[in-house]
Chain A
Amino acid sequence: MRPVYMVSGGVSKFEKARPDATFQKMVKEAFDYAYGDLPKLKRETIDGSVASYFSDHFTRQLMAGIMATDYLGLCPKPNKRVEGGGATGGLSFQSGWEAVASGRMNCCVVFGFETMSRVQTWKGNEFIAHASDTNFDYPVGGFYSGYYAMMVNRHMHEFGTTVEQMAMVSVKNHRNACYNPYAQKRRKLTIQDVRDSQMVAYPLTLLDICVMSDGAAVCILTDEETAFKLTDKPVRISGVGTGTDFMRFADRPHGKVILAPNEKESDYGKLKYPGVHSFRAGRSAGLQAYKMAGIKDPIREIDFIELHDAYTSSEIQTYEDLALCKYGDGGTFVEEGHPFLPQIDYGLKLKKKGTIPINPSGGLIACGHPVGATGLMQAVFAFWQIQGRIRQHFGSGELQLKKADRGLIHSHAGTGTYVTVSILERGW
């Protein structure tokens, strides 16, 4: 395998509904932004593409990937569609990485989209719920927020996590998004606001949960030689990992914790793992990516993270999976202030603000979650962070981190069924 770099990215603003554009047009907007941001890139340089979208139901169109490809003018070059629920974007990003790492392509465009406004929210929930076992899960509950609520109730029982700690994640991500013009929901909230909003699935409220969106995102990946020809600030993809787990969360086994390099067996006594309180796929993906990137102590060696916070609860669970803290300490981790940005006032008293900023962009909770675009959006925001060009792209530098040499992106599907982790770092 050879080194792979990200050289450009683009995002269409995520919105509740974009009736003015079909998915092709939204992809084109993101593509043109990425293409326009890299003046030395010529269309002939592009060898092929990967299409990222989750559900054929949302487009009522099969083979939508090729329709975006032809709209972009990338025919007759190779293209394929990659799909894996909520992790579709992360999986596609890694598929683009594979195309370049293997030598099949020197330059690969990864584009993703979802047009979720085409149906009512409850019908959208149903389409999403079809990504749970339709023999045993969908017909009983038929609602992903319900599945995540069950998982966090066990997390609270097992570890003492509180709803206020979860609400702090929502306060953080909505507040960060105030400075991100691409975000769908930019709001200054208090813990009380989150708890007072409508109960969706106990104990998760409307403000603990991400929303459906229309949107698209594009990443352009190249080999080393092409990267340095096109830009003097290429971002290297230094680690990739992918984990899987049973689709039915009722099937999650009870065994021993898969240990991170900074952990030992005695840390966990009799903790049954992964249970429904933890995501084994996330731990597995993280450890693979850390190994490839040579990371031993993630919290010290990574500067920021864009992770899949479809729920405030899953953000807390993911801190633990990524070994930023011990299993069980995710609630305390947020309460102490570690995942907040040091420069932003959240209206909260935080003891250790900004150890490792998480979801500086606002995450899925505030940016929105047009599924096929989401994992690529994370890559674009991480790319801009590392290049130090947040001010240029966001029109304000509030979210630019002082040290952003190495970032992690994390994409997550099902009840933890597919998880991808990719490490991006300064390549120049």
Chain B
Amino acid sequence: MSPIVIKHPYTVEYLHSYGQDSPFFAGLANKRLLGTRCGGCRYTYATPRLHCANCGKETDWVELPQEGRVHTFTTCFFGSEAFLKETPFHLVLVEFDGADTLLLARLIGVENPEDIRIGMKIRAKFRRNSQLKPTDVYFVPA
């Protein structure tokens, strides 16, 4: 016989805790971009982590510059379910002076992928009403 297929709703309200990353999200709500720096080896994380991956020491919160450069980019014309209604959207990895790692963010204010180039200067803007999500910060051409 042909297989019987039934539909089964599968939803859950997950209480997602940002844990030790929480100050980053509080920073965004206050229009501040926070990374972390290791007191031991001075390695600076643009996407924060509270403990240094090089030496294991606890890091300190530092404010990142609000201007950076496009390290690389893409334009997503398709996506996972939660993001489908936002397509197409541009993603960039942002490099900052004084930081050793990058930050993943949206780029807004350009039309096509051809309008984005690696090395282009961009600056941070913050969503007026914080949603306590990493998309509270986005970048626009500087």
Point out residues on A near B: beta carbons under 8 Å.
19-20, 60, 120, 122-123, 125-126, 128-129, 134-137, 139-143, 145-146, 149-151, 153-154, 157, 198-203, 246, 248-254, 276
A150 to B76, CA, bound (A): 10
A126: nearest chain-B partner, CB-CB:
B80
B91 cross-chain contacts in A, Cβ below 8 A: 140-141, 146, 150
Q: Pick the residue among A19, A200, A254, A276 that contacts B3 (CB under 8 A).
A: A19
Q: Pick the residue among A135, A198, A201 that contacts B134 (CB under 8 A).
A: A135
Q: Is the CB of B80 within 8 A of A125?
A: yes
A60 to B53, CA, bound (A): 35
A219 to B3, CA, bound (A): 28
A411 to B124, CA, bound (A): 37
A151 to B84, CA, bound (A): 21
Q: Is the CB of B47 within 8 A of A251?
A: yes
Known: A140-B91, A140-B105, A253-B100. A200 touches B72 (CB 8 A): no
Q: Is the CB of A143 within 8 A of B134?
A: no
Q: Is the CB of A276 within 8 A of B71?
A: yes
Output the least CB separation between A138 and chain B (Å). 8
Q: Is the CB of A143 within 8 A of B78?
A: yes
Q: Is the CB of B74 within 8 A of A140?
A: no
Known: A154-B118, A251-B53. A143 touches B80 (CB 8 A): yes
A120 to B135, CA, bound (A): 25
B133 within 8 A of A: yes
Q: Is the CB of B84 within 8 A of A276?
A: no
A153 cross-chain contacts in B, Cβ below 8 A: 72-74, 118
A250 to B133, CA, bound (A): 17
* Residue of B16, B49, B79 contacting most chain A CB atoms (<10 Å): B79
B8 cross-chain contacts in A, Cβ below 8 A: 60
Known: A20-B3, A139-B135. A250 touches B78 (CB 8 A): no
Q: Pick the residue among A128, A150, A252 that contacts B74 (CB under 8 A).
A: A150
Query: 22 A-B Cβ contacts within 8 A?
Result: A19-B5, A20-B3, A122-B78, A122-B79, A122-B84, A123-B81, A136-B21, A140-B104, A140-B106, A140-B135, A143-B78, A146-B76, A150-B91, A151-B72, A153-B74, A154-B72, A199-B75, A201-B74, A202-B75, A249-B104, A250-B47, A276-B72
Output the least CB separation between B120 and chain A (Å). 12
A249 to B21, CA, bound (A): 17
Proximity bits, B1-27, A CB within 8 Å = 1, else 0: 011010010100000101001000000
Beyond known contacts A150-B72, A157-B118: 10 more, CB 8 A cutoff = A20-B2, A141-B79, A145-B76, A146-B79, A150-B73, A154-B118, A157-B72, A201-B76, A251-B102, A276-B72
B3 cross-chain contacts in A, Cβ below 8 A: 19-20
The 7 closest A-B pairs by CB, nearest first: A126-B80, A149-B74, A125-B80, A154-B72, A202-B113, A250-B102, A122-B81
A120 to B10, CA, bound (A): 13
A134 to B82, CA, bound (A): 13
Known: A125-B80, A140-B135. A248 touches B74 (CB 8 A): no
Known: A202-B113, A251-B45, A253-B101. A146 touches B135 (CB 8 A): no
A101 to B101, CA, bound (A): 40
Output the least CB separation between A166 and chain B (Å). 14
B64 within 8 A of A: no
B106 cross-chain contacts in A, Cβ below 8 A: 140
A254 to B10, CA, bound (A): 42
Q: Pick the residue among A134, A135, A250 that contacts B101 (CB under 8 A).
A: A250
A154 to B82, CA, bound (A): 27
B93 within 8 A of A: yes
Output the least CB separation between A74 and chain B (Å). 25
Q: Is the CB of B93 within 8 A of A150?
A: yes
Proximity bits, B73-103, A CB within 8 Å = 1, else 0: 1111111111110000001110000001111
A128: nearest chain-B partner, CB-CB:
B80
B38 within 8 A of A: no
A246 cross-chain contacts in B, Cβ below 8 A: 53
B87: nearest chain-A partner, CB-CB:
A143
Output the least CB separation between A226 and chain B (Å). 38
B4: nearest chain-A partner, CB-CB:
A19
A135 cross-chain contacts in B, Cβ below 8 A: 18, 21, 134
Known: A20-B3, A140-B135. A125 touches B77 (CB 8 A): no
B103 cross-chain contacts in A, Cβ below 8 A: 250
Q: Is the CB of A145 within 8 A of B133?
A: no
Known: A135-B21, A201-B75, A201-B76. A120 touches B16 (CB 8 A): no
A253 cross-chain contacts in B, Cβ below 8 A: 100-101
